[in-house]
Amino acid sequence: MREWWIHVGLICIPLVAVYLHIPPPQLSPALQKWHSAGQVFYFRGRKVFYRDSYGALGSSDVVILLHGFPTSSYDWNKIWEPLTQRFHRVVAPDFLGFGFSEKPRPHKYSIFEQASVVEALVVHLGLINQRVNVVSHDYGDTVALELLYRSEQNRTGHLTLNSLCLSNGGIFPETHYPRLLQTLLKDSSFLAPVLTPEPDFVFGPYTQPTDAEFWDMWTGLRYNDGNLVLDSILRYINQRLKHRERWVGALTSTLVPLHMIYGPLDPVNPHPQFIRLYQQLVQRSTVTILDEHISHYPQLEDPTGFLNAYFNFIHSF
């Protein structure tokens, strides 16, 4: 874990930025490259950023990547190129309120709206009749479950899912332990300008991001004053509890091929409680538990292990 003064700094920096109007950090060359390679479409008048790469020739397979909280599609940067070598098309949006997408405030952010963002993007890209594979993480897991529910209910405009791979998401409220700052923010909107989540807190002790990687996370969060909408977005924690039957029910009843890639050192979804409950309730799913030092961000902490697990899953059906 980082020294105490860094954690204090994470609280102080947003306060200074808001009240002294310090502009957000400049994009690093790596983040600028990611941004420049992306595109924008409009969802109900709001700009939504996304990456869309064409890859493997001779394949028609499409994979859609759904990121977690409080980061962005850039979470997938370490596995992006290998995915383009396997899939014809690799797509990843920044959810509304995240990354390079618009961050309206005040705004009632919801999992339902984010699922509609993904459906609208699929229509925009001309993929509505295409069977798609979805890979999700954290917050993106719950968005994926809403998409799964709509697909199972044959809702108008739903995705046709070929497979779903989840990773380290709080899909069960009873085994989900949000960090203290997340709990404070979701119930206290007046704290939003002062507090911000600690993205490095949920990495393993041996898989911490570099200073540059950590700064890219922070920059993406601060882009378009994203720290000011965190309290509204964090109400998804309450939505998970309220709609547990809808989302867990879809997961336990679907016939869509399922896989879970899990970093067991995750303090938010701790081992063994989380994975035991998952295996008990979602018996049709296969599971990969990564090395014991991998925590909440498996695609960043162990990209090779993540890819091996995912490709083994994709080739199994």
**Which one is predicted more confidently, 24 or 138?**
138
Global pTM value: 0.91
pLDDT tens sequence across 84-133: 999 999 999 999 999 999 999 999 999 999 999 999 999 999 999 999 99
Cβ pair 89, 62 in contact under 8 A? yes
For the chain, what percent of residues have pLDDT higher than 70? Answer: 86
Flag whether pLDDT at 18 surpasses 50: yes
Query: Is the CATH number 3.40.50.1820 carried by domain 3-315?
Result: yes
Number of H-type helices and E-type strands within the chain: 13, 8
Q: How far apart are CA 63 and CA 215, in angstroms?
A: 28
Residue whose token pair is 């404070």: 184
Q: Where are the alpha helices (DSSP H) in the chain?
A: 4-19, 29-36, 80-86, 111-124, 139-152, 180-187, 211-222, 230-233, 236-242, 244-253, 273-281, 298-301, 303-314
Q: How far apart are CA 231 and CA 117, in angstroms?
A: 20
| pLDDT at res. 249 | 98
pLDDT tens sequence across 124-177: 999 999 999 999 999 999 999 999 999 999 988 889 999 999 999 999 999 988
Q: How far apart are CA 45 and CA 129, in angstroms?
A: 24
